[in-house]
Amino acid sequence: MLSKQQDFGKKSESIATTHLKKHGYKILEQNYRTKLGEIDIIAKDKDTLVFVEVKARRSDRFGNPKYAVTSKKQRKISMVALLYMKSTKQSNVKARFDVVAISLAKDKPNIEIVKNAFELAYK
């Protein structure tokens, strides 16, 4: 059984996936896990491989969720993305990192896709 937080995370990722599909993204993987970490969603946007981090908040008390991807998290996502690209023999394709920020503070969710949210970070 999922905890309340895990259930919220799953629902948020489902909202993000639906929103990305509406904007032309093709979903390749969800919850891609390695010993180095996890990437919420891996997708294609035209000819670009996109690694997506989903951040959601129930309230605005801690600010906009799009600012919640720390430099530590960026490094972890970057390492997993490089591993994914190597293991799928896609080292030479265009890639970027997006964040889907979901604010559920009001009746209707506010969903924002932040393209190129951060650069490859491995230091």
Residues 6 or more apart from 51 whose CB is under 8 A from it? 39, 41, 42, 77, 80, 81, 84, 95, 96, 97, 98
| Of 37, 40, 51, 36, the residue nearest 93 (C-alpha) | 51
- Specify if 123 maps to a domain: no
* pTM of the predicted model as reported, rounded to 2 decimal places: 0.92
| Of 92, 90, 95, 83, the residue nearest 120 (C-alpha) | 95
* pLDDT computed for residue 9 by the predictor: 77
* pLDDT computed for residue 121 by the predictor: 78
Residues for the chain: how many in total? Answer: 123
Number of domains in the chain: 1
- Specify if 24 maps to a domain: yes
Q: Quick check: 96 and 115 in contact, CB under 8 A?
A: yes
| Residues 22-65: tens digit of each pLDDT | 999 999 999 999 999 999 999 999 999 999 999 988 777 777 77
Q: What would the two tokens of residue 1 be?
A: 């059984």
Q: Quick check: 38 and 32 in contact, CB under 8 A?
A: yes
- Domain extent for 83: 4-118
HSE-CB for 70 with a 13 A CA cutoff:
3
- Specify if 88 maps to a domain: yes
